[in-house]
Structure 1
């Protein structure tokens, strides 16, 4: 009878609103350990409980007794009684919310021992990077790419002159909370990245495949190329002069 009176007090306590709690991000299907963060309140405990969103009990426990796990969490909870932490298994999106550890003591009444805000996220989907337009001139190459995920897309424009490319645009948050699409360049490539707090995926294209005339794949400067061409031409000219001179000497019969 005593335990039911205490449970009634827990449920009927005036709601103060669900505070943020400590943010924790978990990959869908993984486990999470909910620790008690205020160990100093675990003195003279009459009843300890973990609650979900202030209105659903995961379990209750009286010191020295086995925990009472509530329907819906049977087989999904590990409870090491020595520290009142709990491990919640195989989390799904519906498990996102605020988890609160509540202690009732003989002298202190009801006290929060921990509060965690859990966000369960699926893996970031594989994005798709495509070229939507290309504009070339004698001095530069400009192209626009589209980075798409299942739920959103962004555009970014790159302008390349020889080996240098500048970028306009390329990042946005999606409608899905805590999910980001981003486009950036790195080491001669354009990278479309789709990420959240627990995973990421990307798609990549090579800039020289889009602008082969304006992005030197070998990394040679224009100046160096000109010097090589000039040197080869000079060697050919000197060789030709020497050859002509030798031919003239042979024709004259000089030894």
Structure 2
């Protein structure tokens, strides 16, 4: 008995608690009497007898499904302890390796953190300095509200941080092979409050107007009091 390799191992990522189907893609060489799926400990998971259709599960009975038509194996409710090498072999006159998968069960990424501060450079424009963080990694950049096109990408292992800007929207993307999450800010929203403050009536003019009104009210009050006193004096003389 000798062993043939039909192809190089495929690396498959699956999210914790998810399912993954391991296929046998090359069906032309599947003239066999038995097929066995195994794990990296050389433990039989399932054995299929081709002529009779007999099927026997050895381990993972409640967490795997075998399809006797496609010969695929589905791992269900995967946990990190399920990570490892999975192989399928056919047996007749010889033993042939017909599938090989390196399965990695990983958690989804956390939400990234997007921090920013901005500098107003005109009524309709500002520069935003941003930092995009995920786990222990951070990338930073600066964007002009009138020219927002740059992109930065940083990969570490199987995780990737991406920071980019499209149509005045800054996007911080944190991803791995099974998940991705975003945090965004709109540059125009940072500039808008400044524009609204500029369009409102200036405070010093409000103070000037208030002062003028106080002076006018005081003058009117003095004139009215003077008029009342004179009127009383005239009435006394007439009597």
* Coarse TM-score class (shorter-chain normalised): 0.5 to 0.7
CA contact (8 A) 1:41 1:111 kept: no
- Residue among 93, 110, 124 paired with 2:109: 124
Q: After superposition, where does 1:99-178 map in structure 2 within 5 Å? A: 99-106=86-93, 109-131=94-116, 133-138=117-122, 141-160=126-145, 163-165=146-148, 167=150, 170-175=152-157, 177=158
CA distance in 1, matches of 2:128, 2:20: 45
**Structure 1 residue 91: Cα displacement:** 1.5
Where structure 1 has 5 or more consecutive residues not aligned to the other structure, the ranges are: 1-8, 218-255
1:69 maps to 57
2:85 maps to 98
Two-structure CA RMSD over aligned residues (Å)? 3.2
CA contact (8 A) 2:148 2:167 kept: no
SS at match of 1:184: strand
CA contact (8 A) 1:20 1:117 kept: no
Task: Confirm or deny that 1:80 pairs with 2:67.
Answer: yes
Task: Confirm or deny that 1:35 pairs with 2:15.
Answer: no
1:153-182 Cα deviation digits (max 9, x unpaired) = 22122234xx32353x6321134x2x2111
CA contact (8 A) 2:171 2:184 kept: yes
CA contact (8 A) 2:37 2:46 kept: yes
Task: Confirm or deny that 1:200 pairs with 2:180.
Answer: yes
CA distance in 2, matches of 1:37, 1:148: 40
2:171 maps to 191
**Structure 1 residue 148: Cα displacement:** 1.6
How many residues were matched structurally?
Answer: 193
**Structure 1 residue 200: Cα displacement:** 1.6
Greater fraction of residues in strand = 2
CA distance in 1, matches of 2:149, 2:66: 55
